[in-house]
Amino acid sequence: MFVGIDLGGTAIKGALIDGKGAMLSFAQIETPGSAKKIDDGILGLMAILASSAKISETDIQGVGIGSAGSIDKSRGRIITSPNIPALKNHPLARNLEKAAGARVFLENDATVALMGASWKGKSGFRNWIMLTLGTGIGGGAVIDGRVYTGQSGNAMEVGHMSIDHAGRECPCGNRGCLERYASASALARDAEALAKTNPGSSLNGRMKNGSLTALAVYEEALKKDRAALAAIREAARYLGYGIAALVNLFNPEAVVLGGGLSNAHSMLIPVIEDTVRLRALPGLKENVRIIPVKDPSRVPSIGAAKMAMDALSGIPETR
């Protein structure tokens, strides 16, 4: 049995799979605010997964974790995670191995999402890119049929690709990062600002009990609220800028959208496609497909479990 953990800025999601890849259980919790509570939360999530599948925790052979931010895979350490600042220089894998008694493998969250999409989606593409649209924006790439992670395992930090040198400040220390304009959290912030200048927007009613969420913005956009629609179009336009740059760099067959915000793909993709047509180079943009991943909430944790299974089987997945 293998557990996959998708560690994000808002939620921690987990999946338990058997040796044939069948998912036996799935669960999620909110991401706690401290490193110790995150460790404990993951251990608790593993217990929930085992209990739901009616197995013993001792049956878990390996655990794969996909974490937002930059990582040191060889040491199982998170170097920095701008959207989870408590995890700076945190030895997550080592801590969990000691507590759980199982091998723990650490990988970038978008890379495990890409692994899950490649494994379960069977896309047929040999050169493609995946973006995960959540609290931040992650990225992964498959080149000639193999997952590419770079020299240290931290390639494709797409969310921290600067699209405006004098733009919005980012927790990473840079300015104008793509995820400050086109992530789920950015969409929620920008929609709040638009709602305040549009008193008739239904978004104002959604803010009475607190801040907006990207889901609330999407729900009001489905009802044709103008401010919500404008916020989604703006986020999609910025995504298009980033994707056009990636198309020029990688010449992919497809760009696959995952993460919670990808549920709004029917509104996002037409604007992204128009922007890519305007911004990407001739000879590169004509045949690229922009498509949503299936089951975006579960794909990353499934990919993380597959990563652990392959690591224990000696199967190389990345380069």
145-177 CB burial, b ≥16 within 10 A, e <16: eebbbeeebbbbbbbbbeeeeeeeebbbebebb
Give me the domains of the chain, ranges plus CATH numbers. 2-114+297-313 (3.30.420.40), 124-292 (3.30.420.40)
**Apex CA 42: angle with CA 5 and CA 152, to 5°?**
50
Residue 257, by phi and psi: left (phi above 0), alpha (psi -120 to 50) or beta?
Answer: beta
Residue 191 CB: number of other CB atoms within 10 A?
A: 31
Question: Considering the entire predicted model, what is its pTM?
Answer: 0.87
Distance CA 290, CA 26 (A): 28
Q: Which residue shows structure tokens 């304009």?
A: 181
The amino acid present at 317, given as its one-letter code, is E
pLDDT tens for the chain, 319 residues long, are 999 999 988 899 999 999 888 999 999 999 999 999 999 999 999 999 999 999 999 999 999 999 988 899 889 999 998 889 999 999 999 999 999 989 999 998 888 998 898 887 656 899 999 999 999 999 999 999 888 988 888 889 999 999 999 999 999 999 999 999 999 999 999 999 999 999 999 999 999 878 899 999 999 999 999 999 999 999 999 999 999 999 999 999 999 999 999 999 999 999 999 999 999 999 999 999 999 998 888 999 999 999 999 998 876 554 4
Distance CA 25, CA 8 (A): 19
DSSP letter at 302 equals: H
